Structure 1
């Protein structure tokens, strides 16, 4: 997949950071923070580009991927706080408390075009699934919500696995029953979210497909 991005190189003290954003807003895609259930609602374009962004994040250990989802069209369903999305490798050491300062510095970006390798993403996702049921498995998505942003921290393989979830939702969502009438379709959920200690209702983020209006213009594939 070809991704058009905007790249920033802000500094905090002696450290320089590399941050990328989609060049164009994901207009019909939104995210509500899990409390305990979150909702990521998107059309084909948004879900497809998120698949590419997760794939890009998987192989960019020193890059922060920022997806400003609050800039899109407000969703007409779901509850909870609308949030942006940030992806970063857990080895990068990004703390959510650092983000407001970094975000203020995202002013003068430069164009960047990258291509993702879907075959490599699929191989790494398959390797993650092979390890999933081991007793010592710890390759999960750590997360936090801070300053209007939902952070996901992970490894190459778990980001690759998540990319395949979004690709599935983008490809098969338009084929689901009722979407031509404006209904959303539950397609997946974020895999392997780390759960808080003490039990209680598990945290989850549902991934749903929803066409954008006017629905009379939306045609299911093959029609």
Structure 2
């Protein structure tokens, strides 16, 4: 997949950071942070591009991937305030408390085009999935919400796994019955660390939903032409 991004190199004191954003917004994709259940709701384009962004994050250990999602088209279902999404490797040491200052420096960006390797991402995700069968290697996203932003801190394998889950949702979500009428369909979920003390588990549901007007939506395999209008009565 080819990703069109904008690259920023903001500085905080002596440190330079690398931050990338999608060059064009994911207009029909939204995210609400888990309290304790969040919702990632996207159309085919949005979920497909999210798959590419997670795949890019998997191999970019020194890059912060910032995905603005608050200013897209408001969804007609779900609850809670919409948030942006930030992907960062745990080893990067990004502090959410410093993010607002860093975000404020994202002014003069440079166009950047990158390509992701879906086959390599799938292999990496499969290796990660195999390792998860061992209890001592179990890993989930560390996460927090700050400044209307949901942060996911992960490892290369975890980002690659989530990329394949988003790609699955983008590819197979449109095949479900009912989506042509505007119904969303649950496809997967984000693997999140759970806080100590029990209670309801934290989770973010990944759901497919086409954007309106739904009469324009066609399920894969269906007719690409619109149904003809009935002839006018004589």
TM-score, length-normalised on structure 1?
A: 0.98
Query: Displacement of 1:117 after TM fit?
Result: 0.6
Moved over 6 A (4+): none
Where does structure 1 lack aligned partners over 5 or more consecutive residues?
none
Equivalent residues in 2 for 1:5-16, closer than 5 Å = 5-16=5-16
Q: 2:217 — aligned with what?
A: 218
> Higher Cα Rg: structure 1 or 2?
2
- Distance in 1 of aligned mates of 2:32 and 2:135: 32
Q: 1:197 — aligned with what?
A: 196
Deviations 1:36-62 (A, max 9, x none): 000000000000000000000000000
Query: Displacement of 1:139 after TM fit?
Result: 2.7
Deviations 1:145-168 (A, max 9, x none): 000000000010000000000000
- Distance in 1 of aligned mates of 2:16 and 2:211: 39
1:61 aligns with 2:61: yes
Q: 1:39 — aligned with what?
A: 39
Q: 1:186 — aligned with what?
A: 186
Q: 2:207 — aligned with what?
A: 208
Partner secondary structure for residue 188 of structure 1 = strand
- Distance in 1 of aligned mates of 2:185 and 2:35: 20
Q: 2:17 — aligned with what?
A: 17
Where does structure 2 lack aligned partners over 5 or more consecutive residues?
223-234
TM-score, length-normalised on structure 2?
A: 0.94
Q: 1:98 — aligned with what?
A: 98
- Distance in 2 of aligned mates of 1:129 and 1:8: 33
Q: How many residues align?
A: 222
Q: CA RMSD, aligned part only? A: 0.7
Query: Displacement of 1:131 after TM fit?
Result: 1.1
Equivalent residues in 2 for 1:128-147, closer than 5 Å = 128-147=128-147
